[in-house]
Structures are given as structure tokens and as C-alpha cells.
Structure 1
């Protein structure tokens, strides 16, 4: 299946997402901050990146912008996962280049469905 990078500073969320996606057959690389996410994305081939917006150091929005700005990762699908649910926050996420935006708390089924939907769109 897909190679997925998960970046979230909350270990419980990171572990839940990693478990659910691993159960679905995806190869998962979990990291706890934005800088680590950017380093992994630059070093290894990925099919999808899931980013928390609020992380220490480099935010998920900043990581998303960096990925979009680099030639090698410009088309890499990005899903933002965050508790920030205001309309303006969602707009900022999409303006940064996100392909989807999931608001916490979310169900594992919703997460799996959205990941599959983004991956399916990319394959076309």
C-alpha cells in the first residue's frame, strides 16, 4: 500500500493514526515534530503526509509550505490534522497547500476514508 508520514507532537494521536493506517496495510513513519517531518520527506519516498498544525518548532503549515516549495515534494499529498476548526484556520490550511483538512477529534474510520480518498485522487 502507501508510504505515509505522520507528524504529531501528541503521542496518543500519533500512535492511534499509525495503528489505524498500519491496520489498513500502509507503511507508516511516525515523527513528533515539523522539522523531523521535513527531514524524512526529503530523505525517503512517500505517498502521503499527515501533519498536525500545532507542533513545537516548525508548524504543520510551515512544513506544508516547504513541501510545496520544493520541486521533489511539490506534488506530495498533504492532509492536515488539527483541533483548529474555525473557517479561517481551514482557509489557511488550504492556502498553505493542503489536500485535505481533518478536525480533531476524528473517528479512525473518517481518517481511513479521507486517506484513501486522497490517495485515490493522486493515482488518477
Structure 2
């Protein structure tokens, strides 16, 4: 499986990349929403692990753009966030995320959210 991990903090990309790589998945990392949109425009991914609060293009904006442009071919999009307040969770669901992971995450939770278990 090809998985794109998007987070503006490199340390937040490291652990999921290690867990997924150890299981044989191909991982690509991006540091912001604009880089993610560029990567998705040129490469095919099966899933996107997407931080919500990033400078420039937010994770919410990336999700909206992907849903609008990719249609039924859209990869699975998992929100990856520290923001667990009900209003933000509602907005993430309304935006079209397939799953929401609250940081700090566990390997089991990551695999479940990406439907790898």
C-alpha cells in the first residue's frame, strides 16, 4: 500500500512512517498541505494520513480539494490531529475524512484507521 503522511512537524511523521514501513508499506512524507496536493497530483496513493493544523493549506482544505477533484478515485483520508474538541471533530466528519486519529496515536489505532488490520 502507498501511504502519504502529511504533517508540518517531522517528528509527527516519523513514528507512523516507521510502523508502516516495518509492515512493508511504501510511505511518502510531506511537510505541508501544498506539498501534499502536489504529490497527489503526480502520484497515486491508497491512503493519506493528514494533519489538520498546518501553515498555509490546512488539512481540512486538502481533504476538501481531494474529495472534489478525485471523486470516487479518492484515497482513504485519515485526519491526524491533536484537536479533539467536539466542534473540530464535527467539522472533520463534515469535510469528508474517512477516519479521525487523535494524537498521540498507537500503532494499532493507525493500522485500524487505515484499514490495514
TM-score bracket relative to the smaller structure:
over 0.9
- Structure 1: runs of 5 or more not aligned: none
Question: Any residues of structure 2 matched to 1:1-124 within 5 Å, and which?
Answer: 2-71=1-70, 75-116=74-115
Q: CA RMSD in A?
A: 1.6
Report runs of 4+ in structure 1 exceeding 3 Å deviation.
Answer: 71-74
Equivalents in 2 of 1:111, 1:3: separation in Å?
Answer: 14
1:72, distance to aligned residue in structure 2 (A) = 5.9
CA deviations over 1:8-53 (Å, ceiling 9, x no partner): 0111110111111111211000010000001111110110011000
Aligned residues: 117
Change (3 A) 1:14 1:73: farther
- Structure 2: runs of 5 or more not aligned: none
Equivalents in 2 of 1:29, 1:82: separation in Å?
Answer: 19
TM-score (norm 2): 0.92
